[in-house]
Structure 1
Amino acid sequence: MKSNRELTVSRAMAEAIAQEMRTDPSVFVMGEDIGTYGGIFGATAGLLDEFGEERVRDTPISETGFIGAAVGAAMAGMRPIAELMFVDFYGVCMDSISNLAAKNIYFSGGNCKVPMVLMTATGGGYNDAGQHSQALHATFAHLPGLKVVAPSNAYDAKGLMISAIRDDSPVIYMFHKGLQGLAWMNWPQSAAAIVPEDAYAIPFGEAKVLREGRDVTIVAISMMVHRAMEAAEALAADGIDAEVIDLRTLVPLDRKTVVESVRKTGRLVVVDEDYSSYGLTAEVIASVVETDISLLKAAPRRVAYPDIPIPYSRPMEDFALPNADKIGAAVRQTLGKAA
C-alpha cells in the first residue's frame, strides 16, 4: 500500500467518488459532461469506464431537471452526486436546492432523508467573467438545511467528499476550479497533497490550524487558504507571526477553533473570495465578537471580493481579487503598522 503518493484535488475527488461507488451501489453521478469528458474540472475522470452509463449519467443542459431528479432519487433511497458545472448557474435551479433539497427533511418531520451531494466549481482568476467566476459560499451557507464544504487541498478534498456522500443530509461541495490541478490552469502546488489510498472521512465542522502564530489569526477557506499562507510567509520576514486557519467547512462552522486562536493572538483577519458584504467574513467576525469582544486588541478586518460584478478584463479582475498583499496589509492595520 502506497503511503507517499501525491494527488491533485481533481484526482482525489474522483478517487473518493469511485471508492464510495464500489462499496455502495446506491451512489451514482449525474451532470453535464461528467461521463466521457470526465467533468470539465476533472472531478469524474475515469468513472464512466469503470461504472458505465447507468451510474455515470451525462445529462441534458437542464440544471433544473437533473438537480430536481437528484433530490427525488435521494428521497427514494439513492445517494446521487450531481455536478452543477459552475456555481453561477445556481439561479436556474435554486428552487430545487433551497425549497426541496434543503427543506424536505424538515417538511417530512424527519421521515425522509435527502442524502445527495451537489458539487460545483467556484472561483475566479481565469478571465471567465461574472457568469462563471463567483464563489458564493455565503449564498448556500445562509440556507438552513444544507451542509457546505470547500476544501483547499487534495487530502481534505478526498476526506470531505467521502463524508459528503455518506451524509444523510444534502451537502454542497464547493471546489475551486483553480485548485483542481489541471494542466491548462495555473494552480498553487500546495493544493496537491499526500493522499492515502484507503478511504477515510474528515468530519464536518473541524477547522485545521495550518500555521501556528502569536500575533494575529488569519481565517480563510478554499483558494484563500493558499493566499493566506503566502501572506503569512511574507509577514514572517518582517517579524510578524501569523496563525492561519483553514475552515474547511462553512456549515457546520468551527467557531470554537477560531475563538481559541483569537484568544491567543488578540487580532483577527478573515479572508474569502466571496463578496464582502453579508458574507462568511462577517459571520466569522461576529462569532468572535459575540463570544467575547474583549479578546480583540484591535478591530478585526475582512479581505474579500468587492461588491461588484466580476469583470471579464483580466487586469480588472486581478485588481479586485483578494491576494496575499491585501491580506498582509490588513494584518498590518490590525497591528497599527503602515499598510
Structure 2
Amino acid sequence: MKRIRVGLVDDSAIVRQVVAELLSRAADVELIFTAADPIFAMGKMQDQWPDVLVLDIEMPRMDGLTFLRKIMAERPTPVVICSSLTAHGARVTMDALAAGAFAIITKPKLGVREFLQDASSELLGAVRAAAAANIACLHREIARPVAPAAAAPRKVLTAPYKPAGKIVAIGTSTGGTLALERILREMPAECPALLIVQHMPEKFTAAFAERLDSICAPQIREAQDGDRVQPGLALIAPGARHMQLIRVASGYAVSVADGPPVNRHKPSVDVLFRSVARELSANALGIIMTGMGDDGARGLREMFDAGAHTIAQDEASCVVYGMPKEAVRLGGVAEQIPLDQIASRILELA
C-alpha cells in the first residue's frame, strides 16, 4: 500500500508533536518532515516533496499564505490549512482558500493538544481526501483570469423587498469556495434569489460572504434569521447554524437556528434542500457541487421528486467528486454539467 507522504509546517512545538503522534497512528500515512516555518520547510521539500502539506498561517520569517501562493505557483500541491478559530484567522484563511488551499482545520488558542486529539479523525479525513483530490481543478480556478466586469460589485438592492421568482439552492463543501466564487462572479446584479450552504466553521462564513460581496455584482451576505429571500441577493448559511427556507406573509424568508449536526455537518445541505422541496416544489433549482461525503444527496432527491430541476457538478470539474456522486447514485440529478457552465444554466433556468 502506497502511503500518503505528509509535511507539517507549524511554529508551535505542541502542534508539531501532537499532529506527528496522530499521523503516526495511521497505517496509510507517513510524516516525512516537520518544520517550524516555511523557510525550514523549503529546504526539506527539496529532498522529498510531500503528497499533502499541513500548514499553519501565522508563522515567523514567512507567513503560511505567502508560502501557499509560492507552492501553488511553482508546484501545485494539496494543502490543509490549520488555522486559529478567530475573526482575524477567518479572514486570512479565506485568502488561503482563494489561493488554492484544499481544506481548513480550525484550532483554538488554548487547549490545542486536547482539541487536536479530539479532531484526529477530521484531520486524517482531510489528509486522505486531499491526497485523492483533483488538485488540477483548484489550480485552474486560481490561475483563471477574471473578466474586468466582475470587479464592479453592486451593494444595494433595487428595492427594500422584491418577491423572489424561482429560488436557487446550492450546496457544496471541499473545493466549494473557489467554485462558488466562479459562479457568483458570473452572476448579474439582478440574479435569481440564491440560498447557499458551504460547509465551513463558525466565524469563517461571515468572512467568506464579506469577501464575495466585495468582488461580485449581487449582494452577498451571511444569512440572519428572518432575512427575506429576493432576486439580487445571495444568502450564505452561517457556520454552526442550519438554514431553512420558510414561507412568510409576502413571500419567503430564511430561518437560521441551532440544532444537531445532520450528516456530521452544521450547516447541512440536506436541511436546506429539504426545506426548499417542502416549500417550493417545482419552483426551485437545486445544485450540488464539489465536496466530501454525502450531505445534500438525499435532500436533492427530495427536490427532484417534488418537481424541481436539479444539477450536479460533473466529476471532471470537481475537486472532490463525493457529494455529487452520491446524489447521482440516489437518482436525484436531472443533469451533470461542468463548473464553467453552471452560472449560465442557472440564468437560463431561473
Structure scoring higher RCO (CA < 8 A, sep ≥ 6) equals 1
TM-score by length of 1: 0.37
TM-score by length of 2: 0.36
